[in-house]
Each structure stands twice: as structure tokens, then as C-alpha cells.
Structure 1
Amino acid sequence: TLKMKCRLPLLLLSTLLLTFAPLSTLSIDLDKYVEPDIPDYGDEDIDEDERFLVKTSVCYGDLGCFSIKGKYFNLLHRPVVVVPQSPEVIGTKFLLFTRRNPASPAELHYKNAKSVLRSRFSNRRPTKLVIHGFLGKGVMGWMNRIRQAMLKRVDCNLIQVGWAGGSVTLYNQATSNTRVVGAVVARMLRWLHSRFGVDLDNVHVIGFSLGGHIAGYVGRRLRERGTPLGRITGLDPAGPYFEGTDPVVRLDPTDAKFVDAIHTDGALWRVGLPLLNGGFGIQSPVGHVDFFVNGGRHQPGCSSLGACDHSRAPQLYIDTLKTAKSKAFSAFPCDNYDKFMAGDCGSHCPSGGCPVMGLDAEKYKARFTGSRLPHRYYLLTGPCTPYSVVHYHVTLRLSSKSPSGRTGGLKVQLSSGGKQCGPVKLAVDERRLSPGSRQRGVFGCTGWWSLAASAPAKLEVSWTDESTFGSWFGYRIKLDSAVLTEMVSGRAHRYCGYGSFKGGDWVSGRRC
């Protein structure tokens, strides 16, 4: 069972002096440029004759109307819903960075051609938008680090989207405000597409927490106008007020041609009030491929207080951008996390290789968009950066002459080149260690990449005797062999000669 976690809001404050970059080389005569009107439409058709005790709809000019009835209200998952605030209150901002102005942003304004032409924006480069979540601001620590890492990796237009006027408020109000932000961002992208020839296939929206669902609203509006978005990445999309809702309310695979999501702080159950949930993130699959890091619930190195698990998602994404190892964040298909950790979903990558979490996930787009959803992938990480680990699958074969009736937990540890990995417990719950049985498990080793290509010098095994009288009588088990497989490459190494040993003892096998 999941323990209910007490959560404290995360408030990150930062400021940055905005400066404008020099004129770009786009050849448009500013004096002759005339902005035509671009039609826009709302989410809902509002019946003006309806009368309710509370306001259930609101309209904001060319952004259209927003109703909180129907799918946007749910007594269990969205119990207290309010209409979104105005675009003026929310104050969505678009701050452009490129390799030519990596630290000093140019603010882009809708239907203001000069703001684009006097920036470093280029329609020849891919465009990436980064959107924050609840209590966030447009220029803050993790967004800046994603910007820096992304610009080193890709020559792109990187736009940090801020909506602090709508995010620093009560949570239920912020969730409603996401719909207006999505409409504003979609309107900006359609304008860039129609006036400056921006290819929406080359637009990638990255959203953290509530920002993940904003990305979904952006994609939905663009798709409904016949100009679908190229890609959305959800960084632990928010769970409260979104878990268990209709796809129209939350991020969904139909919102872009390719949608990937990273889960770090989900829960299997929830009610609408965020402080009563097991986590801040959504547990349900929301993309063409969903990466569940350490099961997508609790992260190593995080306590049960605060938003550490939740904020791990953007930190992991930054690591995926910075790593030089192409397979560092490989993930493995499985029905659920328990089966993955028990080693029941295979010992190595399937044919075609394992997809990689992060920017390179799109290389596997054809596999995910052309087959049945959902696609659940699991991977382990360490407690601090660099977060990537080497994944190992181990199979321990008990001797047919091992005594029957033994129960307990198994542990392994590796040693090689002066480094040690473990000890690692293979099973959370006690196991029945039957004679002749094979006991499997998956674990990860941090700081182990230089050793992954060769066989570890030692694979040691121990067991914890959980039987009633085991500690009194010194019960023993007998282990014949162990097979250790590096899961990405599929290289397997066999160890023999363990023999018989008591609970608490460590025994080491030899390569065979």
C-alpha cells in the first residue's frame, strides 16, 4: 500500500533583466507590413440563457469561451472548479533565446511583427517551448538549465513561456487558468506559422506539471484547426484535478504527432484535493510512450516531504540533454513496475533496441505511433546527478539439494575495478526459496559506465532468513549459479561455486 505523503508547495522565485537582441536578417519591410486578423474559436459553445448560482463560463475575445461544466467538472477528481482568469491577469509571456542570445531574452508579442523581426528568431530552425507549472515563473532555475542544455545540444529557437499571473494562486484556479494559457500559446504559434512560415512539425512543447497539460491544450487547439503540433513532452504532468479525467481535460496522445511523458511522482489513487494525494504527478499513461522512472512514484534521495519527487522530472530531462552516452537513459517495456523489478519482463532490450528517455525518444516514434497504446517503459536512476545507471538483470539458481521450507530476501553486490555496486535487495517482500527454483531481479549501478562492457570481477550473494526459527538453528540455502546480464547490450556473465551458506553470510562465485 502507498503511504500518504504530506506535501508542501514549492515556490521558486527568480528575476532576469530583459534586453532585446539586434535586428535579424529576415527581409520584410516593417513600414509596409500590415497584420491581418486571424480568426480564432473557443473551447465551447456557451448558452447565454443559462442561469446558475455560480459563474460557469467566461469568454475572452478571440480566445473564445471556457465552460467549467461537462467534462471539466468531476465530483471526485475536480470537486471545486472555477472559471479561468483573464489573459490580462495571467499575463502570458514569450521569452526567446537562441545560440546568438543565450542569456538575454527577446520578448515576442502576438501580432507585433517588429518583436519577431528584431529578435534572433529564425523560421529555418526548430522551435522549442518550455512551460512551467503551479507557482512557477517564466525565468526560473530548472527552465534556465533546460535552456542552456538544449541550446548546446540543438540550434533552435527556445521560448520560455511564463504565466506567473495565473500560476501563483490557489491550485484549483491555476488548473483552470491552464486552458487560457494553452489558448494564448496556440494563438501565438498559429500566427508564427501563418506570418513567418514556422513549420509546426518542427515545434516541440515541453511542459512541467501543469505545463504538461497546457502543452496538451496547445496541441488540441492546433489539431482542431488542421495544423497539428509536432511533439509534446510532459515532465511529470500534474495529477491532482487531472488523474481520472477525460482525455479532453488532460494531456493525451492525440495532442501532437508524438507525445512522450516522464513520470516521477504519481499515485495509484487520488481525490481532487492536491494535499490528500499520494503525489503531485499523474500516474496514468498520457503519451505515445510513458517513461516511469523508479516506478514513477518515489525517487531515490527524496524524502516524503516537499516536491522533490515531482521536481525530479525536469532534473532528469536536463541530465538526458547533457549526457554524452547515447544509451544512458534506456528504458525497458513492462506491464508494471513490480514485474519489472522482479525480472519478469526479460533480461535485455527487445529487438530493435530500447528507447531512450529524453530528447532522443523521438527516434523511436514509428514504433510507438504505429501500434496499440499505452506503451509503458521503466528505468532506474540514482539519487543525484548524473542520474543514469547501468541496468542489470540477475538470475540466481538454487540447487535442487537446497533445503526446502526456506523463506527470505535475497541481496547481491558487484565488485570490479575498485568499485562496488550494492548491496541491493532483489525483492521487497519475502520469497519462498524452493529447491531448484530460479530467483530473478533487476537493479541499477551508478557510476558504473566504464565497467559496463566487461564482466564484474565478483558477484556476491546473501540472504535474509525470514523463517520463524531460522536464526536459532542456522538454516542454510544452497546456490548453484548466477547469471548476470547487462540489460542494454544483452551481454551475460555466469558465476558458479557458491555452495551452501547461512542467512546473513555473503558468498562469492567464480566466473564459469
Structure 2
Amino acid sequence: MGSTFHMLRLYFLLSLMCLVRSDTDETCPSFTKLSFHSAVVGTGLNVKLMLYTRRNPTCAQAINSTVLGNLNVTKKTTFVVHGFRPTGSPPVWIEDLVEGLLSVEDMNVVIVDWNRGATTVMYNHASSKTRKVATVLKEFIDLMLAEGASLDDIYVIGVSLGAHIAGFVGKMYDGQLGRITGLDPAGPLYNGKPPEDRLDPRDAQFVDVIHSDTDALGYKEPLGNIDFYPNGGLDQPGCPKTIFGGMQYFKCDHQRSVYLYLSSLRENCAITAYPCDSYRDYRNGKCVNCGISQTEPCPILGYYADNWKDYLREGDPPMVKAFFDTAEEKPFCIYHYSVDIITWNKNVRRGSITIKLKDKAGNTTESKINHEPATFQKYHQVSLLARFSQDLDKVEAISLVFSTGSVIGPRYKLRILRMKLRSLGHPERPQLCRYDLVLMENVETVFQPILCPKLQM
């Protein structure tokens, strides 16, 4: 009897300890999960801050404007702010983003969970709470500053509505925050608004923005010191083109900005972008001069974009638009090459070029350069932009096909005086040349390139 009583007593004590622990201390606080029912009914604002560091990379620590927890104020602190949540579910990308950020730098990562507030079917209700979220963040940053943190070390990544929240926080510190990244800042209710009511290039020492859905959920005009427009900022490859794609049709383009940023945290994918006035000019090869010399490298999308801030053009504030194309699937990298062709045909030729590269191992990659037909004139250099899905380090053979697109009519020849191929992503690689080629229309011509003379640019 006695031993049974002791066992029951022990069991009761253990149960009590478990109850006490679960009531007062959620072991690993998680992002607020709500339902579509909550979205219909609406939720009152409640902001949770969850800290991840290399000491606790997978188990968050709840922090607030009185408790800093593991946060080390001498290190960089990155705040991640989500946007509108019409179904109440947690953003699917949060864990990957935390892991990626901690892998590239020993920092504090703070997830700003305002799901109670962002979860509503009424977008304007969520939008109306953005300034309150910014105020909560300011109170927390004030505590950090009181403990010795520097505004230089504060970085805010804002997604959709979260990008404007980041801007409001930046305004409260007169643009002295270290950096803000806007991932497809929300367009509806913000398009055409004055700078004080949205994200603005003056909101931090450096503001970079990725626009991936400018014709629907995202903001069209530039909002940063550098604004990146993947695939022109409109339809993203790999996303559904019709409503039959279900929910993905509505959110895939918008979300792509987050996945492109995530790809910048992978070692094998540095997406290069090209400063340019328009997507059309970029596609037509008119903006491929960055990276030729070390004086102005090409900007890199995502986490390392701030390496380019010293090259920003003059202006108050300095603003640059940059364009690039991506593949359909993760990690989205496409490898850009410039193909410079000088011809010596007596008559003008208009057409497109298909170029194929092959390396020693037999790997091949192809690019059809057909954005707009090129005009080849005698002794004029035409610069074309070729985009490949694979990056071949040592090119052994090149093939070219010239086409006018005409099905009937005479077959033309394109007489090439010089062809030059250079990698835009790796300007340090040797440039490859070939001289005196004649391309018969629609016939593939294969040749081995030679190294270009050193004096040529």
C-alpha cells in the first residue's frame, strides 16, 4: 500500500511540474497559427517577437520591450516582418529564412509575428494596423539602444505590408537604421501615396527592394536606393498564368520575391542584376557594361545587395533600377553572357541568334536570343544578351545559328568579322573570340573559340 501511495504521489508531482512548465513557459514559442474562421471574424492586434541566434537556431525565445533574452546588442540584429495573412496560416518561408540568415552571419534574427492583426479577409483592416506594429518595434529597438546597440547594426526585412512597416520604423529614426529590404512591398492602398505613408529610399542608410508582382499585389514604382525587377517585375516564370492555378495564381508572383531573396543565402546562387532604365533595354543587351572592370561591379540581388551601395549614382536620395531574368525553379539562377558581333555584310541583316556552349565534359547549354530581332550593319558591333540555365566554366566549343524567322524566301548569310563571348557573372574569366565566320541561315555552325587579345574590352 505504502509503495503504491509513493508511486501515485511521485506521478502527481511529475504531472504538476509538467502543468506548471507548460502554463508559464512555452518551451519554444512558435508563430501564431490562426484559421480562416479568425480571418472572417477579424483579430485584434498582438505583436510577438521571437529571437533566434546561433545559440538557439531552431527554438525561439520570446522577447519584448523589457526582456532582451539571448540578444547580443554588439551583433547585427535582423528583424523579419511578414505581411497580410488572409487565411491565418504562418508564412511557409519563415524557417528557411531564419536558417539562411544564421548560416551567413552570426547575428540576432527577430521574427515579428503580428498575425493577430494581419489575419483578416479585409485587407484594409490589416493595412490600418501597420503603424501600430512599427511603434511596437520602435519600443523594442529603443531598449536595444539603451543597452548599447547601434542603429547601424539594425536591419529590417519587410514582406509586402511588412515592407511599409519597415519604412515607418525607419522614419521614426530619421533614416538612421542600417538597412531595410522590401520584398515586393504591398501596392494596393500604397500606390501613389506620399513618402511619409509608405516605404521610401530615405528610411534607412541603404534601402533595397525586390519587385516581383507589380501588376497585382506589389508596388510598381521604385521605393529604394536600388530596386530589383526580376523578369521585368511582372509575371514570374514557373507561376500559374491562369486562375486555374488556384491560390498559387494569386500569390506565386508576389511570394517569388521572398524565394529570390532566400536563394541569395545559398552559396551556389549569386543572382547578378544589371542597372538599366527599362526591362526592354536590358533584354536588348544595352545594359551589360557593369562588371567589365572592378571600378563598377554588377549589383547582386538579396542579402549581399548592400555591397553595392558605394557605387550608387548621385542623387538625393540615390536611386537605381536593376533588371535580370530567372529560371522557373529554385534556386532561380540564370547565367548571363554578352555576345558581341561585328559583321561585314554589304546589306543590312535583321534576325536572331541562337548560341550553344559546350565544355570538355560534353555538357551543353543553349540560349535563343530572340527578344527583338537584332540589326546587323557593316562594321557595327551588336551586343546581345545571352541567358543560360547552366554555367560552364571552361567553354570548349560554341555553335551559332542565324535566323530571320522567314519560312519562305531566300536564305541569307551572316558574315561575321568577329564574335566575342564574355561571362557577365564572372568578368574575371577569359573572353572568347572567333574571327571570319559565315553563318548560313538556319544552319548550325560549330567552332572552337580562341582567347581574345588582351587589349580588347
Classify the TM-score, shorter chain: 0.7 to 0.9
Matched, 1:237 2:192: no
Give unmatched runs, 5+ long, in structure 1: 1-17, 22-86, 267-277
In the other structure, the counterpart of 1:421 is: 365
Equivalent position to 1:481, from 418, 426, 444 = 418
Counterpart contact for 1:408–1:466, Cα < 8 Å: yes
In the other structure, the counterpart of 1:125 is: 75
Q: How does 1:255-404 map to 2 (within 5 A)?
A: 255-266=203-214, 278-304=215-241, 305-323=249-267, 328-349=270-291, 351-368=295-312, 371=315, 373-401=318-346, 403-404=347-348
- Distance in 2, Cα, partners of 1:192 & 1:369: 33
Counterpart contact for 2:153–2:178, Cα < 8 Å: yes
- Distance in 2, Cα, partners of 1:139 & 1:308: 16
- Distance in 1, Cα, partners of 2:101 & 2:128: 30
- Distance in 2, Cα, partners of 1:322 & 1:500: 40
- Distance in 2, Cα, partners of 1:418 & 1:291: 35
- Distance in 2, Cα, partners of 1:430 & 1:257: 42
In the other structure, the counterpart of 2:39 is: none
Q: How does 1:39-188 map to 2 (within 5 A)?
A: 89-110=44-65, 113=66, 115-116=67-68, 119-135=69-85, 139-169=90-120, 170-188=122-140
Partner amino acid, structure 1, of 2:444? W
Runs of 4+ in 1 over 6 A off after TM superposition: none
The alignment of Structure 1 onto Structure 2 pairs a total of residues equal to 399
| CA displacement, residues 238-269 of structure 1 (integer Å, 9 cap, x when unaligned) | 22222222111211111111111122222xxx
What SS does structure 2 have at the residue aligned with 1:92? Answer: strand
Counterpart contact for 1:498–1:508, Cα < 8 Å: no
In the other structure, the counterpart of 1:462 is: 401
Counterpart contact for 2:413–2:438, Cα < 8 Å: no
1:219–1:347 CA distance, 2 compared to 1 (3 A)? closer
- Distance in 2, Cα, partners of 1:258 & 1:138: 31
Partner amino acid, structure 2, of 1:123? V
Counterpart contact for 1:288–1:369, Cα < 8 Å: no
Farther-moved stretch of structure 1 (369-378 vs 168-177) = 369-378
1:353–1:477 CA distance, 2 compared to 1 (3 A)? closer
- Distance in 1, Cα, partners of 2:90 & 2:400: 49
Equivalent position to 2:172, from 197, 205, 221 = 221
Matched, 1:492 2:443: no
- Distance in 2, Cα, partners of 1:88 & 1:385: 34
- Distance in 2, Cα, partners of 1:88 & 1:124: 36
Counterpart contact for 1:19–1:105, Cα < 8 Å: no
Give unmatched runs, 5+ long, in structure 2: 1-24, 29-41, 242-248, 451-457
- Distance in 1, Cα, partners of 2:251 & 2:150: 36
Matched, 1:19 2:33: no
The TM-score, its normalising length taken from structure 1, stands at 0.71
1:200–1:254 CA distance, 2 compared to 1 (3 A)? same
1:367–1:511 CA distance, 2 compared to 1 (3 A)? closer
> How much does 1:279 deviate?
2.9
> How much does 1:367 deviate?
3.1
Point out which structure has higher relative CO (alpha carbons under 8 A, 6+ apart).
1
The TM-score, its normalising length taken from structure 2, stands at 0.79
Farther-moved stretch of structure 1 (436-445 vs 210-219) = 436-445
- Distance in 2, Cα, partners of 1:323 & 1:506: 36
Matched, 1:207 2:196: no
What SS does structure 2 have at the residue aligned with 1:365? Answer: helix
Counterpart contact for 1:265–1:298, Cα < 8 Å: yes
- Distance in 2, Cα, partners of 1:228 & 1:374: 17
> How much does 1:132 deviate?
0.8
What SS does structure 2 have at the residue aligned with 1:179? Answer: helix
In the other structure, the counterpart of 2:34 is: none
- Distance in 2, Cα, partners of 1:505 & 1:168: 58
Matched, 1:445 2:388: yes
> How much does 1:493 deviate?
1.1
> How much does 1:156 deviate?
1.5
Partner amino acid, structure 1, of 2:432? H
Matched, 1:192 2:144: yes
- Distance in 2, Cα, partners of 1:411 & 1:314: 32
- Distance in 2, Cα, partners of 1:427 & 1:120: 54
Partner amino acid, structure 1, of 2:125? Q
> How much does 1:89 deviate?
0.9
> How much does 1:431 deviate?
4.1
- Distance in 1, Cα, partners of 2:431 & 2:223: 35
> How much does 1:332 deviate?
2.4
Partner amino acid, structure 2, of 1:458? A
> How much does 1:492 deviate?
1.9
| CA displacement, residues 188-241 of structure 1 (integer Å, 9 cap, x when unaligned) | 2223323x3332221110011111111001111222xxx831211111212222
